[in-house]
Structure 1
Amino acid sequence: MLVRVEIPVDAAGIDALLRRAFPTSAEAELVHQLREDGLLTLGVVATDDEGVVMGYVAFSPVTIAEEDRQWVALGPLAIDETLRCQGWGEKLVYEGLDALNEFGYTAVVVLGSPAYYARFGFVPAREQQLRCRWPDSDDAFQMYPLSDNHFEGVSGIVDYAAPFQRFLP
């Protein structure tokens, strides 16, 4: 398996993986729209020896209180069913976090399992007076700092890119 930044030829394989990995096509349509709108900050894939996409994680821009602070959202994250619980999700997330850090982004947010994302160092966003627009998401909404001054003057609502409003409830 090879973990790397996605390239254009991966798009069809990413779409197929997302359609297999989730119960609806919402995540596949979301990533397609993020890509079409130029809002896909980073995509990281895990491919097998034949180049088939077996894992994927996307990162897209967010704003805090309507201000761009060089933060991004993680999601969706998908691993082919045959490879789950083998550490591939972890490898994809760490590769993404490392690349974002090198690119100068200051923090990452995620709406996901606290037990899963805590292993990477994500902490509840509410501890920093941050929240997202989705109701009942306080426990699942988390953040990860990429720079030392990531919280300086930051509080309020974290808004995801527009396609999230359209494709996810």
Structure 2
Amino acid sequence: MLIRVEIPIDAPGIDALLRRAFSRDAEAALIRDLREDGLLTLGVVATDDEGQVVGYAAFSPVAVEGEELQWVALAPLAIDEHYRGQGLGSQLVYEGLDSLNEFGYAAVVTLGEPAFYSRLGFEPAARYGLRCRWPGAEAAFQLRALADDALSGVSGHVEYQDHFNRL
């Protein structure tokens, strides 16, 4: 198993994984569109011994109340069904967080299962007065600060890229 930053040749494998993992085309289309529009901050892949993509984590820019603060969203996170339950999702997220921290990003937000993401250091965003556009997502909307001052004086609406409105 190899975990690394995605490269252009990975795109077809990422697309196939997202279609399998989500049983629909929306997430694959989201990543394709973000990539084409230059809005994919970071993609992290896991490949098996044959080089096939079996895991993927994507990060794209978000704004808070219209202000760019070097924050990104983690979405989607996908693991091939044959590799689930082995910690691969956590490894992908940690690799992404480490890279983003090195690049100077301040925080990461995500919509996901609180039990999973809390183990990775994410906290409810509502605790900091932050919300997203999707009603009823308060419990799933979480964040992890990467910089010490990431949350200083920040609150309000976290704005994902318009591409996410098509999901």
TM-score range, shorter chain: over 0.9
> Structure 1 length normalisation: TM-score?
0.98
Paired position in structure 2 for 1:65 = 65
Q: In structure 1, give the amino acid aligned to 2:9.
A: V
Q: CA deviation at 1:49?
A: 1.5
Q: CA deviation at 1:162?
A: 1.3
Q: Deviations over 1:102-153 (max 9, x none)?
A: 0000000000000010001100000000000001000000000001001111
Q: In structure 2, give the amino acid aligned to 1:161.
A: Q
1:155, 1:87 → 2: CA distance?
Answer: 32
> Equivalences for 1:12-161 in 2 at 5 Å?
12-161=12-161
1:138, 1:112 → 2: CA distance?
Answer: 10
Q: Deviations over 1:13-66 (max 9, x none)?
A: 000000000021110000000001100000000001121000000000000000
Unpaired runs of at least 5, structure 1: none
Task: For residue 19 of structure 1, give the secondary structure of its aligned residue in structure 2.
Answer: helix
- How many residues align? The count is 167
Q: Deviations over 1:78-98 (max 9, x none)?
A: 000000000100110000000
- Give me the CA root mean square deviation: 0.5
2:49, 2:114 → 1: CA distance?
Answer: 32
2:117, 2:127 → 1: CA distance?
Answer: 16
Task: For residue 120 of structure 1, give the secondary structure of its aligned residue in structure 2.
Answer: coil
Task: For residue 76 of structure 2, give the secondary structure of its aligned residue in structure 1.
Answer: strand
Q: In structure 1, give the amino acid aligned to 2:150.
A: H
> Structure 2 length normalisation: TM-score?
0.99
Task: For residue 98 of structure 2, give the secondary structure of its aligned residue in structure 1.
Answer: helix
Paired position in structure 2 for 1:162 = 162
Moved segments of 4+, more than 2 Å = none
1:50, 1:87 → 2: CA distance?
Answer: 20
Aligned-residue sequence identity (percent) comes to 66
Q: In structure 2, give the amino acid aligned to 1:45.
A: V
Unpaired runs of at least 5, structure 2: none
